[in-house]
Amino acid sequence: MSPYQHGEVFVTEDGAETDLDLGHYERFIDENLTRASNTTTGQIYAEVISKERRGDYLGGTIQVIPHITNEIKRRIGLAARSSNPDVVIVEVGGTIGDIESLPFLEAIRQMRKDVGRDHVAYIHVTWLPHIGATNELKTKPTQHSVHELRGIGINPDMIMLRSDLPVNEAIREKVALFTDVEPRAVIPLATAAVLYEVPLLLEEFGVADFLIDRLKLNASAAPDLADWHMMVEEMRKDKEPLPIAIVGKYVELEDAYISVRESLYHAGVAHDVDVTIDWISSEDLEKGRGLERLDKVAGIVVPGGFGYRGIEGKIIAAKYAREHKVPYLGLCLGMQVMCIEKMRTIVGSDDPNSTEFDHTTHYPVIDLMPEQRDISDMGGTMRLGSYPCALVPGTQAARAYGTAIVHERHRHRFEFNNAYREVMTKNGLVLSGLSPDGRLVEIAELADHPFMVGSQFHPEFKSRPNRPHPLFKAFVEAAAARLDAAEK
C-alpha cells in the first residue's frame, strides 16, 4: 500500500496490514485488535467471488443485495465473536453518497432488523465548514448528508459535529431541529489541542450516557477517568522542547509515520519534555541538502520504508548519528541502513548494501529471508505480525525492556545476513535481540555509542499514550540527556 495514498500501514498482532485508524483505536482503548477488525471492499468481493467459484450459491445470480451485504454483516459478526465484547463499534469510511460505501451502508441498515432496533445506534460524523468572509459555521452540508442517509433508510441517532472552531448552542439546536435528532445527541467536537483529550470531551457531553440509554446497556458504574485526566493535563503543560529528526522517504505526508510520531510524544510526556519533530527528507540528504539540520537535533529516528529511493540519505543520517554520538533509533529499514553503514566503515567501501537495493553487491549485509525467495505475490506475504525476541543481558535493549523475552510486530522481507555476524560483532556491532532459536537478528546496537539501537520490528505499533514503548522511552531519555549536556 502506497504511503502517499494510505498513510501509515498499521500491522496487528496477527499480521493484518490495515488502515492507520486502527492504530489510533488501539492506542485509545489499549486493546490489541486483530484482522477481524479491518474489512475492505476488496476482501468482501474476493470472498463472494470465491464462494461463487466453489458453488456455494448453487449457480444463482450474484447480486450486491443480498450476497455482498450478507458478507459484510458476516464480517461484523466475526469481529463481535473475536473477543466477546459488549459493544461493537463499526466505522463505515468514506462520504455519504459515495458509490463505494453504499453496500456497507445498506448492510448496517439491515443490522437494525437482524439484531433488533434497540441493539443498534447510528452515529453520523459530519463536518461544519467555516466561511471566512462571514465568520460562519455552516450546517447546510450536515442537513444534506442526513437527508442522503434517510434516503437509504438510516436515521441517525446521534450527530457528531466536527469543526476547527467552537460550536455554540444555537448551532446544536439548529442541527437538532433540521435533522430530527435529540438536542443532547448533537455533539460538538471542535479540534482539540491534545488528541487524547477527545474521550474526555465525549464523556463531558454525555455520549456514553446517551448510548447506554439508547442501547439499554447495563452500565451503572461511572468510568474512572482520573488517570486519563492526569495524562492529558501533563500533555498540556509547557515543557522544555526536545528536537528530534525523523529522516524518512515519505515526510511530505506525515501520516505515513503517524505511529512513530505518537510514540515519540508518548515517550516525551514520560520524560517531561516536549518532543518537536523536524521532518527531514532522506532524498534531500543524499542530494547534499539539509545535513546542517541534523546539527540542531538531540536525536535521530530513521523509520521503515521500501525501495531504493532515498536510501543513501538514510545511510547518511545513520553515519552522522554514529560519528557525532547522536542518539539514534532505527525502525525496520532504519536498523538495516545502520548495519549497512557500519559495514561500509569496516571495509572502507560503499559497496556493502542490501540486496533489495543492489543485487550485485559483494557485501549483502541485508538479504532476502530464505522463506521469501519463491514468493511471487507481493501483497500480504511479508513476515507479518507478532514474533518473540530474546534479549541479550547487559545490552541497551535489555535495559530498556527490563525483561528477557518480548513480542513485537514485523513487516518486512529482508533480514540481517548471518554471514556477517562475526566480522561485524568483532567491530563493535552488538546483536542484542535474537529470535528464540538464535537464527534471526531482531535488534542491533553499537557498543561504543550512547544510544544507537535498531530493531527489525516496528515498536511504534505497541506504544500507548499512558505506557510509552520501552525503546522509544529509552531513546528519548538518551536524547534529553544529550541536550542537557550540551546546554551545560
Residues taking part in catalysis: 332, 458, 460
Distance CA 94, CA 443 (A): 39
Integer CA distances (angstroms), 51 to 39, 76, 341, in order: 17, 18, 50
**Contact at 8 Å (CB) between 122 and 108?**
yes
**Contact at 8 Å (CB) between 415 and 441?**
yes
**Contact at 8 Å (CB) between 267 and 476?**
yes
Find the DSSP H helices in 420-469.
Answer: 421-426
**Residue 384, CB-side half-sphere exposure with 13 Å CA sphere:** 16
Distance CA 62, CA 42 (A): 16
Q: What are phi and psi for residue 380, nearest 5 degrees?
A: 65, 25
Closest-CA residue to 300 (of 102, 449, 422): 449
- Identity of the amino acid at 293: R
Q: What are phi and psi for residue 245, nearest 5 degrees?
A: -95, 135
Q: Are strands 353-354 and 405-412 parallel, antiparallel or unpaired?
A: unpaired
Distance CA 240, CA 5 (A): 35
In this structure, what C-alpha cell is assigned to residue 431?
Answer: 546483536
